[in-house]
Structure 1
Amino acid sequence: MEEDLTALIQRVREGDAQARSDLFGSAYADLRQLARARLRDGGRHEGFSTTALVHESYLRFLRAGDLRAVDRRAFFAYASQVMRSVIVDLVREQHAQRRGGAVQHETLDSQLGLPAAQGESEILQVHEALAALASSEPRLAQVVEMRYFGGYEESEIAQALDLHVRTVRRDWEKARLLLIALMQG
């Protein structure tokens, strides 16, 4: 199956429009598993569903038009990035709606406003800290993205990035410490 996906990816890169649909058809079960893992491991929210996350990711892939992935591993790393952006954008949209969107706000001295759900706040905090981390430590950011937003296990990340599992484990620990520092600072 890995060879089939790699062949489809190559056809997409060559401009074959049918290959784009075939690629997502062939990868759909794996994409659902990736989305399910992400939603189970901290991204669960009433506005997210596995199917909706996969479909929105597919639509963003279509809009982007350019696939830079060269093989199955790179494709799923890319998919985890797209899923991250879908989740972050949905959380931001919901925060904006809670604050009234474009409605003019007036200040009241009361405790009527409800704080954002902890999961949503965490997603946005991690996203912002991850952007800062990516500027100085891109591989660490990629490991975090694949694990936190993509739901990958250490062994899957190691395979996708062509690293040893121990290296991924060390990168994850270092990235966690850096992210905590960035989120508290």
Structure 2
Amino acid sequence: MQDVTQILQALEAGDVAATDQLLPIVYAELQRLARHKLSNEPPGQTLTATALVHEAYLRLVGDVSEQRWDHRGHFFSAAAESMRRILIENARRKKRLKHGGEHARVDLPEIAAPALERPDDLLALDEALTQFAKESPEKAELVKLRYFAGLSEQEAAEVLGISRATAARYWAYSRAWLFSQIKSDTDQTI
């Protein structure tokens, strides 16, 4: 089995067959990350892990001419960003009036319990994360890897090439900064 980095380099060089080699290697990992991410989502999520992985993969390898990956970690960072964008687009779509944005979503089997889905929270996080990325891009990347890709602290540290202790400090700071930003935005709208 070839290394992911070698396959990505072949893909960049125009080897279309490399896509067939890449999918089996990264699919299981992307599927695990998507399942982990979606398990943390509130009930009522209509996007499945398989659909999230397929959409992210299509975006990643769809137009090979525009893609440049330095290494395996770079590919999975791009996958995390792609999953983040898909989830944000899904939250925005659900919030639109055309798609029932003014109504609370309720699963039929659990009709007695109110729906807990809140696309506003995800949109607020996206806005705060975009602002945070301007100030601290590496810390924002850590948040994307941990929150949207579902990587553990150790896995995210390896992808970013930092120590686990640094990742822990970045994670603590990032969570506090984002919470403060989202809280102040919420207070201003009330």
Q: Determine the C-alpha separation between the residues in 2 that align with 1:145 and 1:46.
A: 19
Q: 1:48 to 1:182 in 2, by over 3 A?
A: same
1:123 and 2:122 aligned: yes
Q: 1:45 to 1:17 in 2, by over 3 A?
A: farther
SS at 2:159 equivalent: helix
**Structure 1 gap segments, 5+ residues each:** 102-112
Residue number in structure 1 paired with 2:13: 14
Aligned to 2:103: 114
Identity of aligned residues (%): 31
Q: Is the CA contact 2:43–2:117 (under 8 Å) kept in the aligned structure 1? A: no
* Partner of residue 70, structure 2: 70
Q: Is the 8 A contact 2:94 2:119 kept in 1?
A: no
Distance in 1, Cα, partners of 2:53 & 2:31: 6
Distance change in 2, residues 1:90/1:133 (3 Å): same
Q: Note the residue ranges of structure 2 that are not aligned, 5 or more in a row.
A: 106-115, 185-190
Change (3 A) 1:115 1:125: farther
Q: Residue in 1 aligned with 2:172?
A: 173
Deviation at 1:45, TM superposition (A): 4.2
Give the Cα–Cα distance (whole angstroms) in 2 for the partners of residues 123 and 44 of structure 1. Answer: 14
Match of 1:104 in 2: none
- Tell me if 1:28 matches 2:17: no
Amino acid of the structure 2 residue aligned with 1:166: A
Q: Distance in 1 between matches of 2:14 and 2:29?
A: 23
1:114 Cα deviation after fit: 3.0
Distance change (3 Å), C-alpha of 1:68 and 1:44:
farther
Deviation at 1:36, TM superposition (A): 0.8
CA RMSD of aligned residues (A): 1.9
Q: Read off the aligned partner of 2:130 and give its amino acid letter.
A: A
Contact kept, 8 Å, 2:42 with 2:117, in 1: the verdict is no
For 1:73 and 1:23, locate their aligned partners in 2 and report how far apart those are by CA, in whole Å.
14
The whole-number CA distance in structure 2 between the counterparts of 1:149 and 1:130 is 12
Supply the distance in 2 between the matched residues of 1:46 and 1:118 (Cα, whole angstroms).
Answer: 8
**Partners of 2:181 and 2:63 in 1: how far apart?**
30
> Are 1:148 and 2:147 an aligned pair?
yes
More displaced stretch, 65-74 vs 157-166? 65-74
Residue 89 of structure 1 is matched in structure 2 by: 89
Q: Compute the displacement of 1:41 (Å).
A: 2.3
May I ask how many residue pairs the two structures share in their alignment?
Answer: 171
Q: How does 1:49-64 map to 2 (within 5 A)?
A: 49-64=48-63
Contact 1:43-1:123 at 8 Å conserved across structures: no
Q: TM (normalized to structure 2)? A: 0.82
Greater CA drift, 34-43 or 77-86: 34-43
Deviation at 1:43, TM superposition (A): 6.1
Q: Compute the displacement of 1:163 (Å).
A: 0.4
Q: Which residue of 1 aligns with 2:188?
A: none
Which position in structure 1 is the counterpart of 2:3? Answer: 4
* 1:100 counterpart = 2:108: no
Q: In 1, Cα distance between the equivalents of 2:61 and 2:8?
A: 14
Structure 1 residues 173 and 79: alpha-carbon distance in aligned structure 2, compared to 1, 3 A threshold: same
